Amino acid sequence: MSQPRRPDPEPLKTNDMATVLVGTGIWALALIVLLVFQPDLEQSWWVWTCVAGIVGGAFGVWFIRRKDRRAAARAAPVRAGDDERPGGDPPQGPATV
């Protein structure tokens, strides 16, 4: 008989932006080194590999910022208090003049 499955651990809190920026910086540094030493035309694929790494890093920065903005927008009504509905409309109550 199999043992009961343990619950999944909580996800780790990481700094995704720092990870992507460091990786992109390493690709940019590699590109600069390659451009300084002017590789042969037969070895020019290294340059394009670095360019692809930089473009991928730029996409990663855009994606993480978009994800963080959406997470902040979802959390904003929760932080505002319980008097707001999930749709974002304020509760309807008696009008005060």
pLDDT digits (tens, 9 = 90+) for 49-60: 999 999 999 999
Residue 22 lies in a domain: yes
Global confidence as pTM: 0.65
Residue 84 lies in a domain: no
Domains: count for the chain:
1
Domain region containing 44 = 16-73
pLDDT digits (tens, 9 = 90+) for 17-35: 999 999 999 999 999 999 8
Measured in whole angstroms, how far is the alpha carbon of residue 55 from the centre of its chain? 15
Residue 65 lies in a domain: yes
Residue 80 lies in a domain: no
Residue 94 lies in a domain: no
Residue 32 lies in a domain: yes
Residue 8 lies in a domain: no
Q: What is the pLDDT of residue 69?
A: 92
CB 58 within 8 Å of CB 24: yes
Residue 81 lies in a domain: no
- Please report, to the nearest 10 degrees, the dihedral formed by the alpha carbons of residues 52, 57, 60, 62 taken in order: -100
